[in-house]
Structures are given as C-alpha cells and as structure tokens.
Structure 1
C-alpha cells in the first residue's frame, strides 16, 4: 500500500486558451483530513474531477492508491465521491437511490441500512428525494459516497446547506472517519470551520500556493487560517 492515498503530480488542465490548473502537485497522506482551498475559479473543482477521472488532464497525473482512477479495481471500494453535479433522481426514495448505488458498487445487501444510520437518515429512508432539504441531500450524497466502504473520501463543499447542528455533526463524522484510519480530501469555502478539522491544507489559485500541515501555515502568534489564506491568494493575480 502506498504512503499517500492521493497524489497529484504536475497536473495541468487547459480549456482552449484558458488554463484552469497549472503544474499543480500535492499529496494526501493516509489517515488525514486535507482541505483544498481557493477562490472561485481557482481550479478546485477541476482538480477534484480530474482526480476521479471525470476530466482528462492536459498533462501531469493524479493517483489514488498509487494508480489512476481508471485503473482501480472496483473504484467504490477505494474512494467515495460527493461533489456538485452528482445529482439524484428526484422521484425515488432515499433508500432506492442508495440501493442503486449499492448494486453498482457491489456492496453487501445490508450496507444501505448501515450508511443510512451513519448519516442520520434512517427515519427518512422512505421519503422521496424531491422532498429533502439541501442539508438532507448533502447527507444522502455522503451516504452514497460511503456505500462501498472506501478508506478515502473526496468531498466538494459538503457543508453547504447544513444548519449549525449539521455542520457540527459533519465535523465530528469526518474526524471519527480519520481517527479510524480513513482519509478525506475536502474542498470548502468555510475556512473557520475547516480550521477545526483539517490536518493539512492545500491552497491553490491555478497553482499551489501552499501545501502542507495546518500548523506550518497557522503559527502560534494568533494567525488564523482565514488570515493566512487571504495573504496567499491576494498576492497572486487572477
């Protein structure tokens, strides 16, 4: 098993004349929570989509468990993904949606009930997805990511739509996941919340502005993740 759950090496993605990501490199060590940060248009979604095989890089590569996503045997057992654009069929129930995910992942029959309980949706399993609030839909997306019991999660703005109790629940959930040996790469704009849970941060604005341990960026003299983040991104033109 490789030392790092995720490796991004010299990743560049261009759309015609526009460069979304340029020569981006970072790693996500096993058993850590890593925050992927950057302003709108910085390349966060492009990076995540390239890691999970939804986009082909112009150059460079990204690896999960030492191989490209396309080379993974049963990807759902390696990495769970929840990001914008992974929608739901609104007319079906939450349970039915997860059953479809379970069958696609080749997970055992009881896994649907397990993930419903993990994300706190057991009581709502028979409700149609179209009746879900944004926060409930976020929990359902997380449940789908967990269906294959992967050791690694890739999450794009998982706290969007969650109320304060939901955000606290998500924080505790991700921390427990990492404490059990799991790995999380999470993109978010909620800097103050991320500061409570991440071990490492990657700040990007097409390129990596910082990649390393949170403690190496936020020193003991009162700096916050938010203040250091703005110091980095405001120095680099769009």
Structure 2
C-alpha cells in the first residue's frame, strides 16, 4: 500500500462543450486532512463525485487505496462519503436510515449504535429525519459515512448548518480521526475554520492553482488561508 490514500491524475470532466475540471492532479497523503477549495463552479463537487465513482471522467483517473472506486472490494471499508445534497428518506428514523446503510455496507448491526454515539446522535436515534435540524442532518450524514469503518472520508461541505459548538465538535472529530490514522478530503467554503484543521490544501478553479502543505502556502504570521486563497483565485478565468 502506497503513502497516498487518494490520487487524482490528469482528471478532465466535460459536459458537452463545458469543461468542469481540466487536467487536475493532486494526492491526499495517508493520515492527513486535505482541504479542497475553490469558488462556486470551480469543479470541487465534480472532482469529489468522480473520485467516489458517481461520475465518469472524460480523461484521466482517480484512485482510492491504489484502485479506482469501481474496482474496490468492500468499498465502504475504504472510503466513507458525505456529499452536500445527499438526501434522506424524511419519514424514517435516524436508526432506520443507518440500518439500511449498514446492510448495504455489509457490516454488523453494532456499527449503528457505535456511529450514533460517535456523532452525538444516540439520544435522537428514534426521531424521524424530517424533524432534524440542518446540523443534525449533517451529523447523520457523517454517521452514514462512518458505518463501514473506512480508512478515508470524503466530505463535501460538512459544516453547513452547524452552529459554533457543532463546528468545534467537527474540528475535533476530524483531527481525532486523522490522529488515529484516518485520512480526510474535505471541501468547504469556511476558510478560517479549515485553516485550523487541515494539513494540506488543494485550490482549484477548474485547474489546480495550488496543491501542497498549508505551511507552504501560509508562510508567515501576516498571511492567512483566506488571503492566500484570494491571491490565487482572483484574476484567474474559470
């Protein structure tokens, strides 16, 4: 097994005449938290969906644990996915949603209680999803991503709808996950929050503008991830 949990290699995705992502390459080292950043329409969601097999690339490829998603045996053990816009069946309970998820993943029933506890939803397990706040729904999505005990998490805007306490909880959760050997690729617009948790960043605007360690982008105390981000993306045509 190599040192990278995810590899994106020369990825291009076209929709007719529109190019969503062009010749994009980057890696996500094992045990790291990598932030995928870019303005709306930059290709972040396209990139994530291609990595986890929801979209087929026009050119190039992406690998998880050295293989395309479609070739993974027991993919839920390799990667857990929580994408912005993934919905839930509103009439079922949180527990029932996770029961369906764990059956699809082929994992023991005990994982349902474990992930409910892990994301702080144990007391709400029997509530119907339609009664959940946005922040609670985000936690449920994360619980579903964790159901297969994956080595890697791919998360699209997981902090949306979280209050300050929830954001702090998410930050601590992600750091603990990485410290236990897990890997995270996370897309978010909350740059100040990301700066507190990521090890590396990938800034894209259809193409990669920067891919590397945070400390190599934010090089002194007068800089911030936000200021360097805007230095990179402003003036670059989409």
Please tell me the TM-score bracket, short chain as reference: over 0.9
Matches of 2:221 and 2:82 in 1, distance apart?
Answer: 36
User: Which residue is equivalent to 1:26?
Assistant: 26
Q: CA deviation at 1:221?
A: 4.1
Using the size of structure 2 for normalisation, the TM-score is: 0.99
Using the size of structure 1 for normalisation, the TM-score is: 0.99
Q: CA deviation at 1:54?
A: 0.5
Matches of 2:84 and 2:69 in 1, distance apart?
Answer: 19
Structure 1 residue runs of 5 or longer lacking an equivalent are: none
User: Which residue is equivalent to 2:74?
Assistant: 74
* C-alpha distance after superposition, 1:133-170 (max 9, x if no partner): 00000000000000000010000000000000000000
User: Which residue is equivalent to 2:84?
Assistant: 84
How many residues of Structure 1 are paired with residues of Structure 2 in the alignment? 238
User: Which residue is equivalent to 2:189?
Assistant: 189
User: Which residue is equivalent to 1:12?
Assistant: 12
Q: CA deviation at 1:86?
A: 1.9
Is 1:99 the counterpart of 2:99? The answer is yes
Matches of 2:101 and 2:86 in 1, distance apart?
Answer: 12
Runs (4+) of structure 1 exceeding 3 A deviation are none
Matches of 2:205 and 2:77 in 1, distance apart?
Answer: 31
Structure 2 residue runs of 5 or longer lacking an equivalent are: none
* C-alpha distance after superposition, 1:10-59 (max 9, x if no partner): 00000011000000000000000000000000000000000000100000
What's the RMSD between the two structures over aligned residues? 0.6
Is 1:139 the counterpart of 2:168? The answer is no
Q: CA deviation at 1:87?
A: 1.1
Matches of 1:119 and 1:173 in 2, distance apart?
Answer: 9
Residues 116 and 125, structure 2, Cα contact 8 Å, conserved in 1: yes
Matches of 2:210 and 2:78 in 1, distance apart?
Answer: 27
* C-alpha distance after superposition, 1:147-198 (max 9, x if no partner): 0000100000000000000000000000000000000000000000000000
